Every structure is written in C-alpha cells, then in structure tokens.
Amino acid sequence: MANEIFVIKERCTGCGSCVKVCPVNCISMADRNEPNVRWKKLAVIDANKCVFCNACVLDCDKLFDKTKAKVPNPEFFHAIVMKKEESAAVNIDQTQYKGVWCYAEQRHGKIVPTIYELLTVGGQMAKDLNEELCAVLIGHNVTQYAQDIIDHGADKVYVLDHPSFEHFVDEAYAQAMTDLIKQEKPNKLLMPASIIGRSFSSRVAIMANTGITADATEFAIDPKTRMMHATRPSFGGNLMATILCERHRPEMATVRPMSFPRTPKVAGRQGKVINVAVDPSKWNIRTKFVEYKPETNEQVDITGAEKVVAGGRGLGKPEGFKLIEDLASTLGAAVAASRPTVDAGWIPYRHQVGLTGRTVRPKLYIACGISGQIQHLAGMSSAETIVAINKDPDAPLMKLATLSVEGDLYELIPLIIKEIQKAKN
C-alpha cells in the first residue's frame, strides 16, 4: 500500500490551521464554489509534496478534541486522514556481522591519506569490539597500496582492482562496495566525508538497506550494546547530535577529514590481502566517465596543508583577502576563512574552516581578524602552532593561541611579510 492522505470534505471547516503547521507548504485553501455549503473554504493537500509528517492530522484532531469538550459528537474537524505504508520489519541476525571496515579512497591512482585517519578511528573500535580492522580499496592498478595500508594498522585489505574503476563513477563504486558488504557482512563501515566519500556512501547505505551518519567528528562504542555512537554537528554547529543505528547492519558513518590523527606506519607489518573478483557486466550502470579537467587554481588545498593563513570578519572587507593571500604565498601556505566571510561572499566555501566547513590539522595556523567562536575552533584547534592577530585581546582565539599578537592586521601583516622575505634573502 502506498502512502495516502486526503481531506474529508464534510468535516473540513476551512479554518486554515493545517496550512500554518505544514512544514513543506503542501496545503492550501480553496473556494468550495458549491451552493448552500456551510463552510466557504476547503483544505487541499498536494500529495506529491507531502512528506507524511502527520503534523496536519494532529493539528486537526486537537481542534476536534477542543470542540468535543464543548459540543458532544461534533460533525467537523477530525477531517484529515493519513494512511502510511507499513515498512517490513527488520529482523537480521546481528551476530553474523563482524569486522570494522574503512574505505581507502584513491584519486587518479594515488592513495588519499584520509585512510590513515579512518584506521585510527576504526582501530579503536576494532579493539573495543575485539574484531578485525579491515580496509576496502577500489581502483585500477592500486593493489600496490595494500601493504602500505596494512603497515598503517589494517589486519585485512579487500582489493577490487579493475579497469572499470580507473575513474570514479558513483554507481560502479557503490555497486562494488554493496556486493562486498552483502558477501562479507561487516559490522561497521567508515568512509571519508570527502567529495568522493560523500558522493557514493549514501548510495551504499540505501543499497545495503542500512543507515548512515554523515560528517561525524566523534565516535564511541557502547560496551553493553556494542553499537557505534557517531556524533556530528547539527543546526549550523550549535548542537552536537549522537546518531545510533539499532536495527540495521553495517553501521555506517562518514568521517570528517583531519578530525583524527593518522596512524603511524610500522613497516613490514603482517596482514592479509584479499583480491576480490569483479564482474561489471552484472551491473546496470547508467553513467560513464567522460573527461577529467583539473583545477587551474594554483592555491594550496587547506585540508592537507602544513601551513594555513586564515582571514575572518576582522578584515572588514573582501579586498582584505588579498593581504591574506600575500602572506600565504610568502609562507607557501593555504588560504582559509571563517564562516562569516564565506557567508558574506568574500571568498568561496572551499576555504571555510569550522564545524560547517573543513577541519584542518596544520603545523602552523595563522588566524587574522578571527575572534574564534566555538564553531571555528572545532575546525582548527588541533593545529600544532597557532598564531592569532587581532585588535581584541579578549577574543577566544587570542587566549587559545600559541602566540597572540594584538594590533591592526593591516599594519602588522605587511611587516611580517617583509621580515619573512628578508630572512629568505
């Protein structure tokens, strides 16, 4: 039975209360255009827009209950009927699902270091659960990286090496991962919250009939239930929500890059490499890779940068980022920004650091004109050395910084650049 919602005309008074409570604006009021009707208006629901949240039903029923207290058996209100499709009960044997998996992302044939961060998180989970720590590597000519992943902590590496994976295509990667999940039944699956990880992890979750926590920054294993507690920022970083997946396996999450340290390498570590047979002819792939064009922008990417120079609202104007770029260029650093400057359109989103942006873990982080609200600190507080330049000595970031410099950044930064250039010469 499909979801269904409708209005009983005889009971609808056209009061419009349901219109106000609908979160998706799918209810409107229409003229009845009928002779001798008691009520001139009628609620009309667009079932195609309806998300079946039940808000309108509850609201109309409350009006019925209030009326019933005054009028016995009222002939109006209680006018909206919703019939929802009952999902089949999930009854899986969770004891069959074993192992903590981490997806080892590769781009253009080269391994992405996010796998080492996932192995840190997954390694602790595997230890708490007393299960194997495994990695999944998908690509073409990537088998060579399996031992490196083992050296960084994996007990087992599943390698799906095939020409069809030379370039990333969501459908193909998702199908390959889903097939492997159904075959091997992992308990947990961690994927990076990168562009590629975000792109196909949701597909995997749907195809594997499980749930997923997106962009998680904290993890824990409940010792009693053995469930994964994945915590992520919500409502613009103002709240932290812990998500559970009680009835489905594997429990999945994407992990925000740079939120955790990388596992150290132990050369020659013992582990098992499993080469998984791939047969793309079984899949109905509707998309294909056409062409790859690299960005021509020569700026350093903030996520992997060892030095970062960030600008905030204290710059006062978008042109202020020219000064930030000059300092970054002098240091060979990446350019970053706080959320207010991105929201104002001063700089593109890819430069944003914080709960709603990217997380960085550089050796040097120079914050210029950034007060340091909790949302921003969450994205950069793990930097080894933090230098803050600000007029306000009481700004949170000035207190957190390794070195705080009080003053006008428009006077100080040119002097800093001059001294750095002098030292280079």
Q: What is the mean pLDDT of each run of 10 residues along the chain (425 residues)?
A: 84 92 89 87 90 88 89 88 68 82 91 92 94 94 93 94 89 91 94 87 90 88 91 69 88 87 91 91 81 67 85 91 92 91 90 84 91 85 89 89 91 91 80
Q: Structure tokens of 368?
A: 């210029």
Q: Structure tokens of 346?
A: 């001063």
Q: What is the pLDDT of residue 323?
A: 93
**Residue among 348, 346, 351, 291 at smallest CA distance from 320:** 346
Q: What is the pLDDT of residue 86?
A: 61
Which residues, 6+ apart, have CB-to-CB distance to 407 below 8 Å? 389, 391
Domains of the chain (ranges, CATH numbers): 4-83 (3.30.70.20), 94-282 (3.40.50.620), 302-424 (3.40.50.1220)
Greatest alpha-carbon pair distance for the chain in Å reads: 93
Contacts from 300-305 at CB under 8 Å and sequence distance 24+? 300/328, 300/332, 300/333, 300/334, 300/335, 301/334, 302/334, 302/335, 302/336, 302/350, 302/351, 302/353, 302/358, 302/360, 303/257, 303/258, 303/358, 303/359, 303/360, 304/113, 305/333, 305/334, 305/360, 305/362
